[in-house]
Chains A and B, each alone.
Chain A
Amino acid sequence: KNQVEQSPQSLIILEGKNCTLQCNYTVSPFSNLRWYKQDTGRGPVSLTIMTFSENTKSNGRYTATLDADTKQSSLHITASQLSDSASYICVVSRSNDYKLSFGAGTTVTVRA
């Protein structure tokens, strides 16, 4: 069973609207959690990193949250733009060996 589960698998939103992506993990011991953005036909690029002590972190219109107690993270996209259309991947790092566990990703489609 994958140790990182993302939901929804895909979603479609209208330009200008907000959306929230979810990431639940069972990885232990926890080191950090990263959100990557992968444009179609490109490699993933890191958006933000969350460590154990951080609850919220923003990168422009992207805001990530982390609840280390419930092992849940979310990525909120505010005022979506067409360029936000991409796959968003949650990656959790283990602290003892830095092993990375990848979620399957959420595909976001922003329509005009």
Chain B
Amino acid sequence: NAGVTQTPKFQVLKTGQSMTLQCAQDMNHNSMYWYRQDPGMGLRLIYYSASEGTTDKGEVPNGYNVSRLNKREFSLRLESAAPSQTSVYFCASNPVGTGELFFGEGSRLTVL
């Protein structure tokens, strides 16, 4: 009964390094999302995928890329990390139309 699984849970990068955050869900959900959460701000949508094979930009996509590898997996890549990308990243999924999001445990990223 894993739900949404994110890896890694913690990561420290130097400016300019690249990395990929992995996300997998076992609930057969069509839609998947990547959010970032910063102190004092609401969760902000980076990218989302309404279904396998499609991805769309959210409100803060700059500096990120995504891949919807299959129905289960949705990865987020930082090609050249910047200190402004220091944040907690959450992956989420939901069945079509219900609105309820199921979140992973989060990935805390620090860029020095």
A62 CA / B41 CA spacing, docked (Å)? 24
Whether A60 is near chain B, meaning CB under 8 Å from some CB there, is: no
Determine the main DSSP class of A at the interface with B: strand
Interface size for B (C-beta < 8 A) is 17
Of B13-21, B65-73, B97-105, the one contacting chain A is B97-105
Q: Are A43 and B42 in contact (CB under 8 A)?
A: no
Most buried by B among A49, A91, A102: A102
Q: Is A98's CB within 8 Å of the partner chain B?
A: yes
Q: Give the contact-size bracket for chain A.
A: 20 to 34
Known A-B contacts: A43-B106, A49-B99, A102-B42. Give 17 more (CB < 8 A): A2-B42, A31-B99, A36-B101, A42-B105, A42-B106, A44-B90, A46-B101, A49-B100, A89-B42, A89-B43, A93-B99, A98-B99, A100-B99, A102-B44, A103-B42, A104-B40, A104-B41
